[in-house]
Amino acid sequence: MRPLACFRWATALARIWPAPGSPRPWEKQALLAPTAAVTVVQVAGKKDRPALPPLEERDLEEQFVKGHGPGGQATNKTSNCVVLRHVPSGIVVKCHQTRSVDQNRKLARKILQEKLDIFYNGENSLVYKEKQEAERKKQERKKRAKETLEKKRLLKELWEASKNVH
């Protein structure tokens, strides 16, 4: 079975690129071997960036506790809230974003990876850099909006002054 055969639209989701050392598609070749190694370069919608540090399952303690918040009996009666603790660092993540335990487990691991990246790498972490970039863009948008409002105010004043002259 091909690696991406389980996805219905696998070709639409991934760009396929020859692995290093294998013949390139634009180079002249006598015969393409059916066992040519292929590397998936980028999945649709994902940025090319280094991965977060991997989590070791032996370093994690996982608990399932009863939910909380709005939703009534369906939320408060079931134990689908995941509490994930990273033993070496002591960081604890609690995730109850969905009703599914499996989805909450995946989300908790992703959140814990991001927190560990910030904990170990500080200002050099990917998450910290992305947040700083988002904050910088927000400030730029705010500055442009302020400049636009100022230009509109000046234009309105000029318009009023030109009316008063005639």
- 33 and 65 belong to one structural domain: no
Across the range 101-128, mean pLDDT stands at 89
The model's pTM = 0.54
pLDDT digits (tens, 9 = 90+) for 6-65: 544 444 444 444 555 555 554 444 444 444 444 444 445 555 555 677 888 999 999 999
Average pLDDT, the chain: 77
- 67 and 34 belong to one structural domain: no
- 30 and 69 belong to one structural domain: no
- 68 and 111 belong to one structural domain: yes
- 62 and 120 belong to one structural domain: yes
Band (pLDDT 50/70/90 cuts) for residue 124 is confident
Is the residue at 2 inside a domain?
Answer: no
Q: Long-range CB contacts (< 8 A, 24+ apart) of 10-18?
A: 12/44, 13/43, 13/44, 14/40, 14/41, 14/42, 14/43, 14/44, 15/40, 15/41, 15/42, 16/40, 16/41, 17/41
Is the residue at 119 inside a domain?
Answer: yes
